[in-house]
Each structure stands twice: as C-alpha cells, then as structure tokens.
C-alpha cells in the first residue's frame, strides 16, 4: 500500500528537518538550467545535446514539460538522449518557469521514499485499542 506524502510526513516528522544535517550540495542540472534559460527567450523546444544520459529527476522534469506541450497542442518537444534512471542531488529553482515540472520531480521523490519506507517497514493503520506489543493479553 502506498501512502501519501502527507501521511509520510505525519508518520516520520523528522523528515521535515532533513536539511539540518544535510552535507550534500544540491545543484541545478545543466540540461534543466539550459531549458529554463532557452524558455526565458521563448525558444521553441528542440533537442538538447548533453554528453550523458539524464538522471531520473531530469527525466521526470522533461517528461512533465513535454506532456504539457502535447496537452497544449504542441508538436515540438524538448528531447534528450535518455535516462539512466539514477537519482542524484537535484536542486529546485524557485525562479524556474516550469514549477509544475519541479513539483512532478518532488512527487516522484516522495513516491520513491514511500515505496522504500513501505518495503522496509510497512505502515499499518491501527484502528483498535489492542496492545501494540503483539502479545496476547
């Protein structure tokens, strides 16, 4: 059973303080930065030449932007060579013109975290007043 992001936060409130002990530097990935930059000049979507496959976060970001273009009747899409599917530190940009894509990336991270948490310790909703020890009384 997958849980919602709010359920994860309520069950694991310390997750909101993750940044207090974070030692990693987050960066805005080049391909995302480039599309944000080109979009600010109203450039048409095109192929983005990067020497490596995109990370999972960038792939989700591009997929969201391209889905929005298609929904709006557009035919030109932002194209990259593909994704290796790995996660890397990924910085959001509050000035991005693609906030919906950044939200999709955030939702994808939440989905991955909830699946991981469920695989380690499935959340069980307890609606009765029985003992939590699992021992018979």
Interface residues with Zn ion (CB under 5 A) are 29, 55, 58
Q: How far is the CB of 68 from Zn ion (least distance, A)?
A: 19
Q: Which residues contact 115 (CB under 8 A, 6 or more apart)?
A: 2
The minimum distance between CB 58 and Zn ion, in angstroms, equals: 3
How many whole angstroms separate alpha carbon 109 and alpha carbon 57?
8
Q: Shortest approach of Zn ion to residue 28 CB, angstroms?
A: 9
Between 35 and 55, name the residue whose CB sits nearer to Zn ion. Answer: 55
Q: How far is the CB of 84 from Zn ion (least distance, A)?
A: 10
Judged by beta carbon, residue 8 or residue 29, the one nearer Zn ion is 29
Write out the two tokens for 71: 């929904």
Contacts of 137 (CB under 8 A, 6+ apart): 131
In the bound state with Zn ion, the residue whose beta carbon lies nearer, of 3 and 35, is 35
**Residue among 44 and 52 whose Cβ is closer to Zn ion:** 52
Q: Quickly count: other Cβ atoms within 10 Å of residue 60's Cβ.
A: 22
Nearest to 32 by CA among 75, 67, 64, 69: 64
């Amino acid at each position: 059973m997958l849980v919602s992001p709010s359920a994860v936060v309520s069950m694991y409130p310390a997750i909101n303080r993750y940044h207090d002990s974070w030692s990693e530097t987050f960066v805005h990935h080049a391909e995302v930065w480039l599309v944000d930059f080109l979009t600010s000049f109203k450039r048409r979507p095109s192929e983005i030449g990067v020497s490596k496959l995109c990370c999972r976060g960038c792939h989700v970001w591009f997929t969201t932007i391209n889905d929005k273009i298609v929904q709006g009747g557009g035919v030109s899409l932002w194209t990259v060579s593909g994704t290796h599917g790995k996660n890397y530190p990924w910085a959001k940009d509050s000035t991005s013109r693609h906030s919906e894509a950044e939200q999709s990336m955030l939702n994808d991270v939440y989905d991955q975290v909830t699946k991981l948490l469920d695989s380690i310790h499935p959340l069980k909703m307890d609606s009765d007043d029985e003992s939590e020890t699992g021992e018979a009384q």
